[in-house]
Amino acid sequence: MPATPAETSVVEHRIRIAAHPETVFSYFTDPTKIVHWMGTEATLDPRPGGACRIRLNEASVVLGEYVEVEPYRRIVFTWGYEQQWFSMPPQSTLVEVSLTPEGAETLVVLSHRRLPGDLAAAGTRAGWSHYLPRLVVAAAGGDPRLDPWQDIDVVVQAVRDVAESS
């Protein structure tokens, strides 16, 4: 795993999904389900040391590895880009997802750690702010529709907008 810079940032999101943790968990571990809300193709092996590779669009491929997998409660995986976008090489950052049942819903807390600087934090904030609402729809049984972020120009503009507002 690449070395972590001395100064890093954390991006955290909290969302509620109208689905049980078992359902939400599968949207982080099943390659056919993850591409309903994020990416166009995925190779996932949800066990410690297993691969986590997600093609977000033609220009971006995430490459990481599952670190912890507690069914229906917690998932931890590394994250970085094959193309090293935002100075984030493969497996250089860490994503922690906790799932807490709340009645018929699930509280999802996603923390993305070890982000190397402001641009990486802005890009990551923009990314999860885009993808997590799509997860809310998909995991609840809805159709999040075609992902506009399959167009890299849309992604670049969204990241610029977040970076300028930070």
Give me the CATH topology for the region 9-165: Alpha-D-Glucose-1,6-Bisphosphate; Chain A, domain 4 (3.30.530)
Stronger pLDDT, 69 or 123, i.e. the higher one = 69
User: Which of 48-52, 53-57, 63-67, 82-86 shows the lowest per-residue confidence on average (mean pLDDT)?
Assistant: 82-86
Please give the mean pLDDT across all residues of the chain.
Answer: 92
Confidence category of residue 147, pLDDT binned at 50, 70, 90: very high
What pLDDT, on a 0 to 100 scale, did the predictor assign at position 165?
82
Q: Give dist(CA 73, CA 22) in Å, integer.
A: 8
Confidence category of residue 83, pLDDT binned at 50, 70, 90: confident
Stronger pLDDT, 60 or 162, i.e. the higher one = 60
Stronger pLDDT, 4 or 82, i.e. the higher one = 82
Confidence category of residue 7, pLDDT binned at 50, 70, 90: low
**Sequence spans of domains, the chain:** 9-165
pLDDT at 1 over 70: no
Q: Give dist(CA 102, CA 117) in Å, integer.
A: 34
**pTM of this structure:** 0.90
Q: Tens of pLDDT along 85-141?
A: 788 999 999 999 999 999 999 999 999 999 999 889 989 999 999 999 999 999 999
Q: Do 27 and 139 meet the contact criterion of CB atoms below 8 Å apart? A: yes
pLDDT at 2 over 90: no
